Amino acid sequence: MQNTTTAQANKTALGHLRVLDLTRVLAGPWCAQNLADLGADVIKVERPGAGDDTRSWGPPYLKDGAGNNTTEAAYYLSANRGKRAITVDIASTEGQAIIRELAMQSDVVLENYKVGQLKKYGLDYESLKAIKPDLVYCSITGFGQDGPYAQRAGYDFIVQGMGGFMSLTGERDDLPGGGPQKAGVAMADLMTGMYATIAVMAALTHRDRTGEGQYIDMALLDVQVAMLANMGSNYLTSGNTPKRWGNAHQNIVPYQTFATSDGHIIVAAGNDGQYRKFVQVGGCPELADDPRFVTNPLRVQQRDVLVPILADAKYA
């Protein structure tokens, strides 16, 4: 007979799965947290004495009942919800044995150690596959398991720059404050965690159909380049390198912020009908049928003419 906890777990989407989380900082923990949110039993392994790097990434810290800071950094808490945590020294023979035992009881192993580091301890995919053939094993690194940058450490900020994101983010170079900007949150890390989640779920589906495990090689730089989406496609179809547009949009006009008498507004006219309604409500109905602006391609071509008109105080 199942106990109450087991019965409740089995009612969740992934309540039948166990995940061994050997990751730290953000990309890997974010993937593991996604799986925990879906019901998986996630066991997070941390270093004795120090734990995950993000435990010290504060302030702010969680406060106790008396309003005093605890040692739980908000950053750590943001990526480790729903997990059980233990400390294991994987450099020791005893610690390696513990990890192998946990891996044999798990469906998924997540790790983000430097390339080749876990092989020294017999905890790489090939070693664990030998004792659990149906294991899904996901390695997350900055630049992948092979290639010229494989041995480099990968941080979100560096990858946002290398992967093209910062060349698209920030005010236009010809305006005050222009220049590259990173996103306000670690987009490369977070999206790598999301892509890893999808890959793990696909590998689990493959395992359930075939009985075979899978190895997943997930890299921050690969994900960052993929994230460029329409901007990457713009480059591939035109040969022109996309540039920064601040709060404006490369392919849609008007699609940006405008200053008003009591703050800023966001205008997102995603089609010609919305544009017509905007200029009518905004007090300049004559622009709705102006032949220079009646379609979005025309408005993109005439951006430098239309936007100053819309930004004029009498229409704001």
Catalytic sites, residue numbers: 189
**Secondary structure (DSSP) of the chain:** ---HHHHHHHTSTTTT-EEEEE--SSHHHHHHHHHHHTT-EEEEEE-TTT-SGGGGS-S-EEE-TTS-EEEEEHHHHHT-TTEEEEE--TTSHHHHHHHHHHHHT-SEEEE-PPTTTGGGGT-SHHHHHHH-TT-EEEEEESS-SSSTTTTS---HHHHHHHTTHHHHSSB-TTSTTBS----SS-HHHHHHHHHHHHHHHHHHHHHHHHS--EEEEEEHHHHHHHTTHHHHHHHHHH-PPP---TTS-SS-SSEEEEEETTEEEEEE--SHHHHHHHHHHTT-GGGTS-TTTSSHHHHHHTHHHHHHHHHSGGG-
Separation of alpha carbons 134 and 289, rounded Å: 63
* Whether 44 contacts 77, CB under 8 Å: no
Scan for tokens 């199942």, then name that residue. Answer: 2
Phi, psi of 112 (to 5 degrees): -135, 40
